[in-house]
A and B are shown apart, each in its own frame.
Chain A
Amino acid sequence: MYSQGLIGADGTTHEDEEFLTAFQARIDAELKIEPNDPMPAGYRKTLVRQIAQHAHSEIVGMLPEGNWITRAPTLRRKAALLAKVQDEGGHGLYLYSAAETLGVSREELVDQLLSGKAKYSSIFNYPTQTWADIGTIGWLVDGAAIMNQIPLCRCSFGPYARAMIRVCKEESFHQRQGYEIMLTLCRGSDEQKAMAQDALNRWWWPSLMMFGPHDAESTHSDQSMAWKIKRFTNDELRQKFIDATVPQAEFLGLTVPDPELKWNEDKGGYDHGEIDWNEFWSVVKGNGICNRARLKARRMAHDDNAWVREAALAYAEKASVRETAVAAQ
């Protein structure tokens, strides 16, 4: 899963012209940047912020889906869901590691999330009310994530690109498991179809919001594009997502909850209604249905288990002292 189009990155940088031109030339030649290479401070800052937001999104994203692990309707679905949510944790881990190559520690990154300073994808601040939400998240949210993440495999920063290659490989089953759940519901009873439609109604617009603000309002987007941290604009990716997803909804026999949705022959894509940006910003600012619950759950996991991490560290220290003592004898 992916963080929405980056919020609030500031690519401002203060290196001299010669340095920046040489750096840009490397980027333009599609040479990857590795952690110890010289890089503009703004490039480093933007990446740390984006990778961290992405990692936080994976971690917080475990919660809405995790909400259904104990209630999954069959053993097959339960195993697939547990494996999927576990994967999200793994992806968070890979991404934290990629951010760490830029000189920030896991502990600092986690602190930023728990203190509420860091952003994560707003989609996870919506509740999973029914089993159909698990199907819809796999289908739409992971679908949107794939749109975002495939270009990131070619990101100019080596560790981020490598993490994304691993993530994309692993995520290939996520969207399929979601769509399979939706298919089963849509081929099922009227009640199941209604459940599927209700989930689509609730998740469609938040899924479109995952791509972030319109290009015109997306500050610092140009700089990220020039540095090849980003390869497509928010609106380009959103359009690709809509064009890919609408036929999938039709196949399911579901109605996309946008009365203005219409195929536009000239542009070879769908026209669509306007996103409720007030809702978007309200959720980004922390006022979504689940913002507080999500952070609280993460804080509890962190604080209530601090003694475990302390114990493990204390043991490792004791063991290493003992080892040194034995070696000295």
Chain B
Amino acid sequence: MADLMPDMIAGAKFKYVLRLADDQLILGQRLGEWCGHAPTLEEDLALANIGLDLLGQARSLFTYAGEVEGEGRSEDDLAFLRQERDYFNALLMEQPNGDFAVTIVRQLFHAAFMVPFWSAMTGSSDKTLAAVAAKSLKEVEYHLRHCSEWIIRLGDGTEESHVRTQAALDELWGYASELFEMDEVADEMLVTGVGVDAAALKDDWDATVDAVLARATLNRPEDSWSQTGGRSGQHSEHMGHILSDLQYMQRTYPGLSW
């Protein structure tokens, strides 16, 4: 029993890091779709910057997940060569870009969560995760600032932008709760001092989002529904299409270097 423990912990840690990596990869992939199609040239560059931050975080996390697993899998093996059921991103990340309001609301939900998450993770007993957290925290703090300012302008802009942004909030609201879920893997990571108590970040998230919505003259939707499944590999119909793009080259030409 005693010598099973380290393996189990390693297994939980692998899954924990992988989830985190998948969140950033899939959201980064979505942002990549905007490149060349944004509302202004300035915003095109801003969205790409956020996407590049997330891709960079994903790369560090995949590389580390591979090390934790210890089976010689590289960042690309992990990013590209899994079946859909083995991707563990929250469903929020895979939701389609929609209009600009949907994209910005999705990003706000993510950033408002990741800021306290990375902030707590800087105190992780795991040195690698603590270092990734310190770097990522600065990045998501900017994402939060950028998205908040946009939400305020869209909410308190024109009648059309207000309606669209409220609709985006209503559309995505039920996906936020998954971010705060704790399960066996997350509990184990919390107990061992590696991970973060995601459930405890909810108040922080609420306060951030509420403040932005108030300034944006938008209504906080009712907590009447919530979606879950991503953390156990149960995805929406969108995921398969993301993967057909993401994995296209690796699946079409297996085993080659690019």
Q: Is the pairing of A and B real?
A: yes
User: What residues of chain A have their CB less than 8 Å away from a CB belonging to chain B?
Assistant: 59, 62-63, 66, 69-79, 82-83, 85-86, 89-90, 92-93, 96, 131, 181, 184-185, 188-189, 191-192, 297, 300-301, 304-305, 307-316, 318
Determine if A305 and B55 form an interchain contact, defined as CB atoms under 8 angstroms apart: no
- In this complex, what residue of A is CB-closest to B76? A74
With A69-B33, A297-B36, A307-B160 already in contact, the answer to whether A82 and B154 are too (CB < 8 A) is no
Q: How far is the CA of A311 from the CA of B152 in the complex (A)?
A: 10
Please report whether the interface of chain A is mostly helix, strand, loop or mixed according to DSSP.
helix
**B-side contacts of A310, CB under 8 Å:** 157-158, 160-161
Q: Quick one: which of B40-88 are within 8 Å of A by CB? A: 40-45, 48-49, 51-52, 55-56, 58-59, 62, 75-76, 79-80
Per-residue CB contact flags for chain B residues 146-160 toward chain A (1 = under 8 Å, else 0) read: 000000111011101
Give the contact-size bracket for chain B: 35 or more
Determine if A62 and B153 form an interchain contact, defined as CB atoms under 8 angstroms apart: no
CB distance from A101 to the nearest CB of B (A): 17
- In this complex, what residue of B is CB-closest to A110? B41
- In this complex, what residue of B is CB-closest to A93? B41
Q: Quick one: which of B135-175 are within 8 Å of A by CB? A: 152-154, 156-158, 160-161, 164
Q: How far is the CA of A92 from the CA of B36 in the complex (A)?
A: 11
Most B CB atoms within 10 A — which of A73, A79, A185, A316? A73
Determine if A311 and B161 form an interchain contact, defined as CB atoms under 8 angstroms apart: yes
**A-side contacts of B258, CB under 8 Å:** 73-74, 77, 131, 181, 184-185
With A188-B257, A315-B152 already in contact, the answer to whether A93 and B39 are too (CB < 8 A) is no
- In this complex, what residue of A is CB-closest to B33? A70
Determine if B35 and A85 form an interchain contact, defined as CB atoms under 8 angstroms apart: yes
Q: Can you give 29 A-B contacts (C-beta < 8 A)? A: A69-B32, A70-B246, A71-B249, A73-B253, A75-B25, A75-B55, A75-B62, A75-B76, A77-B258, A82-B48, A82-B51, A83-B48, A86-B44, A86-B49, A89-B35, A192-B253, A301-B37, A307-B160, A307-B164, A308-B40, A308-B43, A308-B100, A308-B161, A310-B161, A311-B153, A312-B153, A313-B157, A315-B157, A316-B153
Determine if A307 and B42 form an interchain contact, defined as CB atoms under 8 angstroms apart: no
Q: How far is the CA of A77 from the CA of B76 in the complex (A)?
A: 11
User: What residues of chain B have their CB less than 8 Å away from a CB belonging to chain A?
Assistant: 25, 29, 32-33, 35-45, 48-49, 51-52, 55-56, 58-59, 62, 75-76, 79-80, 99-100, 152-154, 156-158, 160-161, 164, 242, 245-246, 248-250, 253, 256-258
**A-side contacts of B157, CB under 8 Å:** 310-315
- What is the total of A-B residue contacts with beta carbons within 8 Å? 138
Determine if A308 and B154 form an interchain contact, defined as CB atoms under 8 angstroms apart: yes
Nearest 8 pairs between A and B by C-beta?
A311-B157, A311-B161, A305-B39, A73-B249, A86-B48, A62-B36, A73-B258, A308-B39
**B-side contacts of A301, CB under 8 Å:** 36-39
